[in-house]
Each structure stands twice: as structure tokens, then as C-alpha cells.
Amino acid sequence: MNAHLEQLAPRPLWRHFRTLCDTPRPSGHEAALVAHLEAWAEGLGLSHDRDAFGNLRIRKPASPGHEKAPGVILQGHLDMVAQANAEHPHDFTRDPIATYVEDGWLKARNTTLGADNGMGVAAALAILEDDSLVHGPLEALFTLEEESSMGGALNLAEGWLEGEVLLNLDSEDRGQVYIGCAGGADVVVEAQLPTGEVGEDETPMRLALTGLTGGHSGIDIDKGRGNANRLLVRALRCLGNFDARLIDYHGGTLRNALPREAFATLALPVEEVDAARARLTALETTLRDELAGVDDGLRLTLEPGDTEGAQALTRDASRLLVNALHAAPCGVERMSTAVPGVVETSNNLGVVSLEGGRFHLCALVRSLRDSARADIADRFRALFELIGARTRVEGAYPGWAPVPESPLLARFCTLHRDRLGVDPAIKVIHAGLECGILGAKYPDLSMISFGPLIRGAHSPDERVEIDSVSEFWDMLRALVEDLASPVA
């Protein structure tokens, strides 16, 4: 599958990206890809090893005469976000990604593409096999479970890496270089809420909010896009006067993706169904107006449900849960004053579920300030304690503090100006690049992050601009060669 990829330039990079598309690799299921890459490295005579967590390192000795050049680490993550359109059955643990070219972009059919971070991984592999390249000692570090938990970076062995310079290849903007990123943490809320039988005077109704764009919960958090969990809860609040009781709720699939769809089943008094549907029709018009030009595909529907024998929350429990969700932090919390135009703190209501009275929420808080991240988590705790829920924080990881005076950054900017005729934009990203975690474990590393132009990451709209891949590849090759030479 995906043979057309090998006709794109630069061919070595796209050939490796074809392998990534053909090898299923959602978070937690990278083993087959790791085994393939180990066999590939052995075929080229390259040494490889793994740390205790399973992160993979492949090494290549320096070109003759460049053994004393600073060691360069090419870093990316092997896993990809697994998102498919609801009408498209796709098993991310078994099925390859089907790609196609349209208007200068590479896209996937009804699923995420995996350009995040497949482009970076493919580029690192192509560098390792490029015998025409003059370079110092090379290490390619491929981490696991970045998209689900940052687990690979958080558990990376200390004292293992040998390089002095780290090139993170997980950025998504052409003509930009990143020197800092937000830290983050998962906030998990759970509760067992009281339920009761669905009465004879009630009927199960299925409430659905669909058609949103979704996207990356950090990079796209300031784009004004709808959050399906936030909006469906707003619809539930709209039905509060009809004594609706929640039977179940399922919204979002990943805490780091803006949820595109959310569904709830309600026990609604029979005589209130028509009035409830009319109220929702008016709300749909309001929401479409609010999101015009951003999420024009929004749909809000109420149809008969099928939940024979199901239990519904009590009216008080339904009311308290909906109110708490409605009050929960969501979206941009604060813009940075230190880095103008950059989101400082945000939260994504990523995954919400209710089944048999058991409530679960997983939100992803991001911030350039660890104190602000901790405060949002504490606000969740304070809010959901009011309904008897338990809150915990998991997988906290630090941000990456910018070093604008970095010699590595200066060399990259000079190369960019010489080769492309313009200075790169120097950026701090509101997303969880692994650089913050790696920098905490290896504080002497000098780091930057750059990549090709990717849009729609973490959603089935994900795409990569083909021309930008060639530009990215040329800059990476030039930088690796430049770092093998002494500073003038």
C-alpha cells in the first residue's frame, strides 16, 4: 500500500514514511515498528539499543575526520494519534494508513495521517542511511507513547544519550524554529454517582453533537473551534428544565485532541420530548452562528434511544454533574505576557464518559508556568469535590524554557537565511514537545525543534504540505553537515 509515496521527493524520506504508514503504530502499539527499525539498522551495520522503557536508539559513527564534532541527536516519537471519522471503520492496531495527494498536500482517507511525528522519524532514518552526508557522531532517538502520556520521554534512561546537540523534529510550521514549549498534566476525575430505574413516564432519547473540526489540543486551542464536550454539556443545561436524567455519556477519544463528537442518552419525560427538540433546534442555530467560519458542520440532534434496562442518574446527580462540567475550565485560560501571541495556560476537556453511574473525565492542562498548571488542576479538584468525585493528576511534565542566545539557534538562523533568503520565525509552542522532559534529564543539551508544514494534527483532517517536506529535509541535511564543522 502507499507505493505512490516513493515517487515524491526527497525519495529517501518518503520511502521511510511509506513504511510508517504501512506499519500500524498507535500509542502503546509500537513494538512491530521498533522490531522493523532494528532489523533495518542491522542491515546497514548500525548499532542500536533500547532503554528499560523500550525507547529505541540507533547510532552512526562520525564521518572520517569529524569524530570530535559535537554529537547530534535526531529525536522524534514513533507513535501516532489514532482518530478516524465515525462512519469509517479503521483498526489502528492492524490497518495501514491509506494516503493520497491533493493540491500539493498529502492526506489520509478518513483517519489521522501520522505526519505527526512520522515526518520527523522518516527524516532521521533518511539521514542515518545517507552516506553522502558529512557528519559528526549521530544518534537517532525514537521515543514511545508520546501522544498518549509522554511515557517514553518521562521514562527515558538518564546517562544513556551521548550527544551534545538535540534536534527535535516534531514541529509543524514551515519557516519557524521552536526554542520553548508548554508543560502539561492530565487531570483525571472519577465518581460513582447514584442511579435509578427509568420510569414508565420517561423515554430514552439519544442526544448527539457532531460535525466539529477538532484538532490538536495545544496548537489549535486558540483557533476558536468548538469542543464537543463543552457544547454538549451546554445542550444538557438547555434541557435542565425538562427534568432530563443522564443514562450515559461518551465524548472525545483522546485527551490531547479537541473532541469532535459527543453523545448522551437521556431519560426524558415523554410529554417533554417535542418541547426539548424545539429547544435544541434553537440552540443549534445559536451554536452555528457562534462558530460560523470555524465549525460550520456542527449538528445537534435528538432521536429515540435504545437502552433497555439501563439505569439513569437521579435528577439531583444529573443536575450536579452537568453543572460541574459546565463550570469546568475549558479552552484558553491566559495568554502569555512574556511571549506575546502565545497561549500561556489552557485546558482541554478531552474525554468524558458516563456508564452505569460511573463517571470519568480526563482533561489535559498545558502551561508555560508549572504554577498555573497546578492551579488549574486544583480548581478541578475543588469543583468536582462538590459532587463527591475524586481528582488526581497524572503524567505531569515540565515545559522547555527558551534560550534565545543559543549558539545552536544562531547557526540554524544563519543557514536558514543563507539557503532560503529569510530569517526563520523564532517561536515558543503551546504544546508538549518532549524537549522539556529531555532537557530536565539532560540539562546540558542544546536543543531546537523544527519540521515541515502540518495542519489538522490529531484529527482526520491531518495533512502535510509536500513542498515543505523538501525544504525541511534540505535544512536538516545542511544543519547536520554544519554542526560537523568547527565554528568560524
Contacts by 82-90 with C-beta closer than 8 Å and gap 24+?
82/26, 82/27, 82/111, 82/112, 82/254, 83/111, 83/112, 83/214, 83/253, 83/254, 83/257, 83/458, 83/459, 83/460, 84/110, 84/111, 84/112, 84/460, 85/110, 85/111, 85/460, 86/210, 86/261, 88/460
238, exposed or middle or buried, with CB in 10 Å at 0-12, 13-18, 19+? middle
Number of H helices and number of E strands within the chain?
12, 25
pLDDT score for 80: 97
The whole-number pLDDT of residue 478 equals: 97
The Cα–Cα gap between 229 and 315 comes to 20
Output Rg (C-alpha) for the chain, integer angstroms: 24
In one-letter notation, the amino acid at residue 428 is V
What's the CA gap between 367 and 219, in Å, rounded? 12
pLDDT at 316: 96
Mean pLDDT by 10 residues, the chain (488 residues): 94 98 97 98 98 98 96 98 88 96 97 97 98 97 94 96 98 94 94 95 96 92 97 95 94 92 96 96 98 97 86 96 97 90 94 97 94 94 96 91 92 96 94 91 96 94 97 98 81
Cell 502565545: give the residue: 342
Residues assigned a catalytic role: 79, 146
Which amino acid, residue 474? Answer: D
Residue 487: what pLDDT?
Answer: 58
pLDDT of residue 488: 46
In terms of C-beta density within 10 A (0-12 exposed, 13-18 middle, 19 or more buried), how is residue 94 classed? exposed
359 beta partners: 191, 354
Cell of 110: 478518513
